[in-house]
Chains A and B, each alone.
Chain A
Amino acid sequence: MTRRGLAGLAVLAVLVVVWPQVIGSGQLFFWDTAAIAVLFATSVNLLFGSGGIPSFGQAAFYGVGAYTVAKVAGHAWPVPAALVLAVLVGGVVAFATSLITWRTTGLAFAMLTLAIAQALYTLVEKVNWLGGYNGLPGISAPSLWGVNFFNQANLWYLNAVWVALGLLAFWRIRRSPFGHTLNAIRQDPQRAAFLGVNVRAYRAVAFTLAGCGAGLAGGLFAYTNQIVSPASLYWTESATPIIMLLLGGMTYFWGPAVGAVLLSALLNYLDQVTTSYLFYIGILLLAVLLLLPQGVLSIPAVAQGLLHRNRDGPGGGGRRRRHTLAMGLAAEPGDPAPAPLVPEPTDRASTP
């Protein structure tokens, strides 16, 4: 990691520590959920951004993790054990799902994951042991080493630590040979297969790892929200992290995190001013897809591209523009420049 990156992380860490004092405990619940959304969206981005795996059923693993923690919290399991179990259960369910979807890709895969997740939702809604339609209320994190998690600030630190651990894991995965191979598979599955990569197995492993991350996020959500309901598994919940990672930019590691904070804040705001936030979220999603397909983190690169075009005068500099954008994407040394998801994004981004 670069020195600038490390400095940024240090600032972030200090912010996390002082945050409860800065904003007061009344607002902490919002920031808890935003932090959890950061982890969830980052886990989903292993599929979309790295592997090009369009899963529309990630809420299932999120919900499964949440229910796992809800169940064992009743038996006063210590927090780390409960969360590790949530990770494992999320991973196992995701792995089972990946076996069912083994042979499908693209749209068929998207539809199948959606259907499987929805089947789990229906199942959870019916099982009395899981509280049925009403879900499981009254979840709390038992004290650990004398730290009481009824305290909002302590709960925030608990979330921060586990979200940080999750992010670190996904950072490592993205930079590992495994992550690079996933990138190769996204860019050209056929070529990757010719080079001897077992494409289906790699996709299944990525799917399982993303399921683990979703399970952890769901587990943290159970502690934070204190009640878990089948709504966490509903299919529209699977779409939320996807909107987040698009908003932030799926080619960047921090894209989903930025998108998660932005969308959480926006939802929080819209909730206060309108009864119909869906309408505005839909408009936002369309605008991002059509005007800024690389997300808000690509704004500097796109702006740079625009500047170059203007200097070259109208009609000129098309090639240079694209070149600049590629440079902008690879701004972080050592990070392999991810291929733009959409060919020639600047063309659309710069059209008024």
Chain B
Amino acid sequence: MIILATGLTDGMLIFLVASGLTLVLGVMRVVNFSHGGFFMVGAYLAYELLRGHVQPIWLFVLLIVVASGATAVVGLVSERVLFRRLYRLPEVSSLLGTYALLLILEGGAQLIWGQNPVTQPEPSGLVHAFTVAGAEVPRYDILIVVAGVLTAAVLQLLLKRTEFGRQLTAVAEDRYMAGLLGVNVNRVFAATFALGIFLAGLGGALAGPTLSMVPDIAVTFILQAFAVVIIGGFGSIGGSLIAALALGLLHSFLASDAPSLADFSLYILMAAVLVVRPQGLLGSRQLLGENL
């Protein structure tokens, strides 16, 4: 039971980060290394707003959303200033451009908050664990799982049921054609990026109480998110949800039964999936670069 709960929680956190990453990748065709940087910015901004104190739940949730929104604003600015210029460059250069932004964000956090870890306690009422079937599960996990489920549902509705979602899908499919048909591609890009960075910030803000914050979390979390994106299939939100949950569960299962293998769960899962389906669980071959 505890294994299940931990796995689910970890998986949901990774999903929050990976969903934004896969969204940006699918629509804008940019592998965004700086995503991890925005995750970290979200965590630190939430810490600043909450002042590192125990807060009531409603305030906690409100401020976390505010922090994510603020992160999205930073993301939007960087899209205007930087990413606009990267679209024209070859893939590898744009990759390095986002890496540069990751370095700037991480370095900036070092300048502002220093290298010493800071911690953010859980909101009041969710501090302790509760007991289910003889196992102690941290209450805070419930909040993370609820947030993950809500995010998945909202994203699904947004993409499938709204005008914006249709435009986004069209741009992801063929940006040139979508542009000809009257879709404002630049605006869709900006909105997609802001949404993706909002999710990164939300992941960071929610993860805050579960980790000790150092600027370095920018580079550690991004790799898991990348793996999830690869496993789930480039650009597929459903795929990244499945992959993230599978990764979380596999990791917590291995951590209890075969601890030495736990850190490899990422690579085990990736190898297993890629051998059977090189394009990922729900991915299309188009983005894989299967042609020469």
B102 is an interface residue with CB less than 8 A from chain A: yes
Look across to chain B and name the residue whose beta carbon is closest to the beta carbon of A242: B96
Which one, B104, B264, B291, contacts A282 given CB within 8 A? B104
List the B side residues contacting A242 at CB < 8 Å: 96
Measured CB to CB, the closest approach of chain A to B268, in angstroms, equals 9
The interface stretch among A10-18, A20-28, A106-114, A254-262 is A106-114
Measured CB to CB, the closest approach of chain B to A174, in angstroms, equals 19
B92 is an interface residue with CB less than 8 A from chain A: yes
Q: Is the CB of A281 within 8 A of B107?
A: yes
List the B side residues contacting A119 at CB < 8 Å: 264, 266-267
B289 is an interface residue with CB less than 8 A from chain A: yes
Which one, A108, A112, A290, A341, contacts B90 given CB within 8 A? A341
User: How far is it, in angstroms, between the C-alpha of A304 and the C-alpha of B76 when the chains are bound?
Assistant: 37
List the B side residues contacting A114 at CB < 8 Å: 223, 226
Known pairs A283-B104, A341-B90; A122 contacts B292 (CB<8 A): no
Look across to chain A and name the residue whose beta carbon is closest to the beta carbon of B115: A275
User: How far is it, in angstroms, between the C-alpha of A290 and the C-alpha of B88 when the chains are bound?
Assistant: 10
Q: Is the CB of A115 within 8 A of B85?
A: no
Q: Is the CB of B230 within 8 A of A109?
A: no
A157 is an interface residue with CB less than 8 A from chain B: no
User: How far is it, in angstroms, between the C-alpha of A190 and the C-alpha of B10 when the chains are bound?
Assistant: 43
Q: Is the CB of A279 within 8 A of B104?
A: yes
Look across to chain A and name the residue whose beta carbon is closest to the beta carbon of B114: A275
User: How far is it, in angstroms, between the C-alpha of A286 and the C-alpha of B105 when the chains are bound?
Assistant: 13
User: How far is it, in angstroms, between the C-alpha of A293 and the C-alpha of B92 when the chains are bound?
Assistant: 12
Measured CB to CB, the closest approach of chain A to B90, in angstroms, equals 6
Chain A interface category by residue count: 35 or more
Q: Is the CB of B103 within 8 A of A285?
A: yes
Measured CB to CB, the closest approach of chain B to A59, in angstroms, equals 13
B31 is an interface residue with CB less than 8 A from chain A: yes
Look across to chain A and name the residue whose beta carbon is closest to the beta carbon of B107: A279
User: How far is it, in angstroms, between the C-alpha of A282 and the C-alpha of B111 when the chains are bound?
Assistant: 13
Measured CB to CB, the closest approach of chain B to A58, in angstroms, equals 14
User: How far is it, in angstroms, between the C-alpha of A275 and the C-alpha of B263 when the chains are bound?
Assistant: 30
B148 is an interface residue with CB less than 8 A from chain A: no
17 CB contacts below 8 A, A to B, read: A54-B91, A106-B91, A110-B31, A111-B31, A111-B229, A114-B223, A118-B267, A200-B292, A275-B111, A276-B111, A279-B103, A279-B107, A279-B108, A281-B103, A282-B102, A293-B89, A341-B93
Lowest 3 CB-CB distances: which A-B pairs, in order? A279-B107, A282-B103, A278-B107
**Additional pairs, 19, CB under 8 Å, beyond known A104-B289, A104-B290, A236-B219:** A103-B278, A105-B291, A108-B234, A109-B289, A110-B92, A111-B229, A115-B270, A122-B267, A125-B263, A189-B292, A200-B292, A243-B96, A246-B96, A278-B103, A279-B104, A281-B103, A289-B89, A289-B93, A342-B90
